[in-house]
Amino acid sequence: MSVTRPVIGLTTQTLHSIDGIPTGLPSSWVMNQRYFLAAAQAGAIPWMIPLLDDDLPTLREIYLRLDGLLIPGGVDMDPRQYGEEIRKECGNLDPARDTVELQLTKWAIEDGKPVLGLCRGLQVINVASGGSLWQDLPSQNPAFAKHDFFPTTGFDRDYLAHEVDLKSGTRLQTLLDEPRVQVNSMHHQGIKNLGRSLVASAVSDDGLIEAVEGEGDAFLVGVQWHPEVFEIAEPHAGHLFGGFIRAACEWADQNGSTRSDVQ
């Protein structure tokens, strides 16, 4: 029987890696609910993944029960993950999240399991593939336009900050069916060196890579913007999430789902 509602794993974030969290709160794993709502509205069963960075056997068992992986936005990646020292402009880090997301992404790439990365998730895909990042766009390359339209500085999360050009014939361009789209923008890091077997599928006017995808047939897509902010009825968000969920259904049908093993 064909899978109609694939199980999509969404990674989490260590609560105290977020600015402004009181130290007295218990240690917790958290994530913005918009990612889960978007996945569910697109037809998936969202599954919250704990940051078991010191228990890879259990993390592997969780991974095996997934039909796809969604990597949300969040705090900065540790530059040491791509061989650089930490600059003073680098923001908060979450080492457990880095470890878990990089491992899950590498497993998924090896297996051809669908992956969708959003904002930080794009950067995780790139680093997992051997690429590197600009730790801070404004200080490292002033030629870049402004990309850090954060809510903490007065911008709405759905503020359309700039346009990106979509590379013709890529999976992303086919899904969105446009040569150029407007996007929101809430990041100060970005792709510096593109990872192995990745294609830059969207670029902003200042030359920054805004989306990547895998060279092969597997669904491996990352975008630097935040489509989860918008309603699934909005075409660009709906087409992106819809394409991801369809790919997860196809993967489950072709590879078999282990969900029946979960008691």
CA 151 from chain center: how many Å? 19
249 tagged catalytic: no
In DSSP terms, 148 is beta-bridged to 186
| 8-state DSSP, 76 | B
Contact 169, 117 (CB under 8 A): no
Contact 183, 225 (CB under 8 A): yes
**Of the listed 90, 101, 119, 236, which one is catalytic?**
119
- Hey, which bits of 64-161 come out as E strands? 68-71, 115-118, 132-134
210 tagged catalytic: no
Q: Which residues contact 203 (CB under 8 A, 6 or more apart)?
A: 164, 165, 167, 209, 210
**Of the listed 101, 210, 213, 228, which one is catalytic?**
228
231 tagged catalytic: no
Q: Which residues contact 156 (CB under 8 A, 6 or more apart)?
A: none
**Of the listed 226, 236, 239, 249, which one is catalytic?**
226
Q: Which residues are catalytic?
A: 119, 226, 228
